[in-house]
Amino acid sequence: MENNGRKIVMKYKVSLCVCALCFFTAFLIAMSARQQGNEALAARIAPEILRFHILANSDSDEDQQLKMEVKGLVINYVNENLGGNATKEKTAGWLMEHKDGIEEMARTYILSQGKDYPVKLELARDYFPTKAYGDMVFPCGTYDAARITIGSGRGHNWWCVLYPPLCYTDSMNAVVPERSKETLKSLIPDEDYEALLPEKERTDHSSGKPRVQVRFRLAELLGLGRQAGDQ
């Protein structure tokens, strides 16, 4: 009887392990499919988008604060001088035309704060994680970007979307301008645009009703879901 009891317990443990392994495997497959879907969406919309990427010198509180101040300085300068009708190509070209001036402006400000860091502005192709900007979420993937490196560039970085102009400098009122949304909507397919919106605002085009999606709470808890905010 004792041996039979042990066998039953062993079978139960084996079954439990197999079930857990199957669940975890299914979970990983689902997350992989979601990741691939996000990157496919990014590949479709990336040709129309110019991201902004600024890297801090380090993760010290002072350097991180300096990063955010330089970010605000540059975004305000771009918004005030570029004009509201620029295309992606014009935005990128304008940045390179004013590269020396932007670098000098940022460096002068950094020096005024008691730091002696070089500043480099360049156009690059960077991989970005999934990020929320106001009420829009951009999927992970590789995008063209205007990248500013402060000092060594080894600190946590900050991202936004420079074209269409979705960057905001007031973190207390993180709202994407409606005009910028309309510009973006005109550049990409409707379904891709809706995929950037909160899930409750998306529409199932086959029925005209809000789209219902299953969300993985475990994925969110593990940090595999959508990310928001600055880094």
Q: Per-residue pLDDT tens for 154-200?
A: 999 998 899 998 876 555 455 677 888 899 999 999 999 999 987 76
Q: Is residue 9 part of a domain?
A: no
Domain around 169: 44-221
The least confident of 3-7, 40-44, 119-123, 193-197 is 3-7
CB 182 within 8 Å of CB 176: no
Q: Which pLDDT value is given to residue 216? A: 45
pLDDT confidence of residue 5: 58
Q: Which residues make Cβ contacts (< 8 Å) with residue 225, sequence separation at least 6? A: 215, 216, 219
Global pTM value = 0.71
- Within a domain: 4: no
Q: Provide the β-strand partners of residue 52.
A: 146, 160
Classify residue 21: in a domain, yes or no.
no
Sequence letter at residue 109? Y
pLDDT over 60 at 204, yes or no: no
What DSSP string describes 135-166? TEEEPSEEEEEEEEEETT--S-EEEEEEETT-
Amino acid at 44: R
Tally of domains within the chain: 1
**Average confidence (pLDDT) over 122-136:** 89
**Higher per-residue pLDDT: 177 or 202:** 177
Q: Is residue 29 part of a domain?
A: no
Q: Are 85 and 93 in contact (CB under 8 A)?
A: no
- For 73-82, what is each residue's pLDDT tens digit? 999 999 899 8
Which H or E run contains 19? Answer: helix 2-45
Least confident of 35-49, 84-98, 120-134, 202-216: 202-216
In a domain, 18, yes or no: no
In this predicted model, what pLDDT tens digit does every residue of 46-62 receive, in sequence order? 999 999 999 999 999 99
Q: Quick check: is 101 in a domain?
A: yes
Residue 24 resides in a domain: no
Q: Is residue 37, in this structure, part of any structural domain at all?
A: no
3-state class percentages of the chain: helix first, strand second, coil last, to nearest 5: 50, 20, 30
Higher confidence at residue 91 or residue 221? 91
